[in-house]
């Protein structure tokens, strides 16, 4: 009986929202016995699928796809940024996490910035730059989970940087929006613009200097970035601009293996990474959701949205108050994620009226622009990886001679010395980027949704779409969402696909509803891969809010069958 119920459960989840003539989502899930890679640009997804076909693991495919995205989507990610990842090893059943976010320079202090004429955290420029962690993250992930040689996983990215690629639509729009930032220096202008303007949709784009950087990393290893020629170029660029980075800042950094944090949501286990990322906020939202009447009958209703928006406000007040580098501040993760605390917070929600003035709670202490990609291989290993420069083209500072930007993650520090997230030497800032993982019974799922402060609330909505509202992974990713990108007030953005009657009801409850496009980039594009362990079948979904797709590894149908080879002998 137990086995029969388990099979029924899995079949139900896999066929949710599948009425062929009546569904509200546009795309179908990608389904294959082979591996699948889902990213925000099709060439990157294809590169990852090719790596799988060459015998690579899900992590090999993820690193290869990430490297391609640094070429084809350079405003969102790059070697000058940070990285977080979760990796599910099918053989051991273990989920591992890595935090490859870099700290501030050892010489960086609030007093020093004031001396330089700054009275708030710089949002761009060299003083917003923190140590880039991406390449060392790649190194550690590949050492532990890679199968192919290090050089092999960079071949697709090196190819596109040198030979060029046709620019895609949504990425071109982001490129166009950043023209002012890209015009800030002669080198940036020559490397990324055409006569002062963004390349056109479909125009071939090449970045030979980035190809050189990828060549160096591929041939010399990650140490070339920490203390070799690329490190020297980063320091030279910083010195020219009056920056505070030192050789010891780059050489002294190492990505850190961390233990994922989790909560149980209506029988599903949801995993995120611990601080300094905002993963705990997604889990806190879900814990509050669990105290609210959300079910299939309420899917898409004004009442469900009202409850979720109010839960977001509560969790984000705690995010602003408590999230910081745990090496500098004891973040009360256990208290924030306790069920008693969730019940206490949920009681503050008025079912009939929006509140604009929630305060952070008092949990008991306990012992912009981004890419997200997901990969699953034929063995069921899953990589859930996110990488970012923060704002579009990061700090606006390009490493001269190597064609990539440095991130501006330092912009997320607080300038108030009493705050847990206050700027300090060798400290990691509050980080928005979060990969996630979800499992129940025989299903394993790696997922993520991009977009700064949008991410935690988007994660919670995605999980609720699957668990509460019975959607399959593509429907759950596509479903219209809300987002709130600040920490106070009753303003909230919703996609245009939210019905007018629902928007009117929210307005009557006091929400200040701002309607965006039907598939708004404010809500963040996302990717999902899922493994049905019982059947040995993989599923994937890719958001239409990005230029990408989920692409499966090709089946070996062109290989000569073993029986035919024997027959020719």
Q: What ranges make up the beta strands (E) of 130-251? A: 165-166, 204-205
* Domain definitions of the chain by residue range: 26-32+258-369+432-552
Torsion of CA 15, 20, 24, 25, to 10 degrees: 70
Least confidently predicted of 12-16, 138-142, 316-320, 512-516: 12-16
> Which of 185, 232, 188 minimizes the C-alpha distance to 210?
188
- For residues 131-150, give the mean pLDDT: 98
pTM over 0.75: yes
Torsional class of 116: left (φ above 0), alpha (ψ -120 to 50), beta (otherwise): alpha
DSSP 304: H
Instruction: Tell the CATH topology of 26-32+258-369+432-552.
Output: 3.60.20
- In tens, the pLDDT along 508-523 reads 999 999 999 999 999 9
pLDDT in tens, 33-67: 999 999 999 999 999 999 999 999 999 999 999 99
Q: What is the pLDDT of residue 566?
A: 47
| 425-465: pLDDT as tens digits | 999 999 999 999 999 999 999 999 999 999 999 999 999 99
The percent of residues above 70 in pLDDT, for the chain, comes to: 94
pLDDT (mean) for 261-269? 97
Strand segments (E) across 434-516 = 436-440, 443-449, 482-483, 491-494, 512-515
Catalytic positions are 370
**pLDDT at residue 17 in the model:** 53
């Amino acid at each position: 009986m137990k086995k029969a119920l388990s099979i029924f459960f899995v079949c139900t989840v896999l066929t949710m929202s599948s009425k062929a003539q009546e569904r509200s989502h546009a795309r179908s899930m990608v389904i294959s016995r082979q591996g699948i890679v889902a990213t925000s640009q099709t060439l990157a997804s294809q590169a990852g699928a090719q790596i799988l076909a060459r015998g690579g693991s899900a992590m090999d495919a993820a690193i290869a796809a990430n490297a391609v995205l640094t070429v084809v989507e350079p405003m969102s990610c790059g070697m000058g940024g940070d990285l977080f990842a979760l990796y599910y090893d099918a053989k051991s059943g273990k989920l591992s996490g890595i935090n490859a976010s870099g700290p501030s320079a050892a010489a960086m202090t609030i007093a020093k910035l004031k001396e330089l004429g700054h009275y708030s955290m710089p949002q761009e420029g060299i003083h917003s730059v923190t140590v880039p962690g991406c390449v060392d993250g790649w190194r550690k992930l590949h050492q532990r989970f890679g199968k192919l040689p290090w050089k092999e996983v960079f071949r697709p990215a090196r190819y596109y940087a040198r030979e060029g690629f046709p620019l895609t639509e949504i990425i071109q729009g982001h490129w166009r929006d950043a023209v002012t930032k890209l015009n800030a220096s002669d080198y940036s202008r020559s490397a990324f613009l055409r006569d002062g303007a963004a390349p056109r949709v479909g125009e071939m784009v090449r970045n030979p200097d980035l190809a050189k950087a990828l060549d160096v990393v591929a041939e010399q290893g990650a140490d070339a970035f920490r203390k070799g020629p690329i490190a020297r170029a980063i320091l030279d660029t910083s010195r020219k601009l009056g920056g505070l980075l030192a050789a010891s800042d780059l050489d002294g950094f190492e990505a850190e293996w961390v233990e994922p944090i989790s909560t149980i949501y209506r029988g599903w286990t949801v995993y995120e990474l611990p601080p300094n990322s905002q993963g705990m906020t997604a889990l806190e939202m879900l814990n509050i959701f669990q105290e609210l009447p959300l079910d299939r009958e309420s899917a898409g209703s004004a009442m469900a949205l009202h409850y979720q928006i109010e839960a977001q406000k509560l969790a984000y007040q705690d995010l602003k108050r408590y999230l910081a580098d745990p090496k500098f501040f004891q973040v009360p993760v256990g208290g924030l994620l306790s069920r008693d605390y969730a019940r206490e917070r949920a009681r503050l929600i008025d079912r009939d009226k929006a509140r604009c003035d929630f305060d952070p709670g008092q949990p008991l202490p306990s012992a912009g622009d981004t890419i997200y990609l997901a990969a699953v291989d034929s063995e069921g290993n899953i990589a859930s990886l996110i990488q970012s420069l923060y704002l579009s083209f990061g700090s606006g500072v390009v490493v001269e001679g190597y064609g990539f930007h440095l991130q501006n993650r330092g912009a997320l520090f607080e300038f108030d010395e009493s705050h847990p997230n206050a700027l300090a030497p060798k400290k990691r800032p509050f980080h928005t980027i979060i990969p996630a993982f979800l499992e129940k019974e025989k299903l394993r799922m790696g997922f993520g949704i991009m977009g700064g402060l949008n991410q935690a609330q988007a994660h919670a909505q995605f999980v609720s779409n699957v668990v509460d509202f019975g959607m399959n992974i593509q429907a759950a990713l596509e479903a219209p969402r809300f987002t709130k990108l600040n920490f106070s007030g009753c303003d909230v953005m919703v996609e245009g696909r939210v019905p007018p009657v629902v928007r009117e009801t929210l307005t009557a409850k006091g929400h200040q509803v701002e309607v965006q496009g039907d598939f708004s980039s404010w809500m963040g594009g996302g990717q999902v891969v899922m493994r049905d362990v019982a059947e040995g079948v993989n599923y994937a979904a890719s958001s239409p809010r990005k230029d990408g797709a989920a692409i499966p590894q090709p089946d070996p149908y062109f290989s000569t069958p073993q029986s035919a080879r024997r027959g020719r002998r």
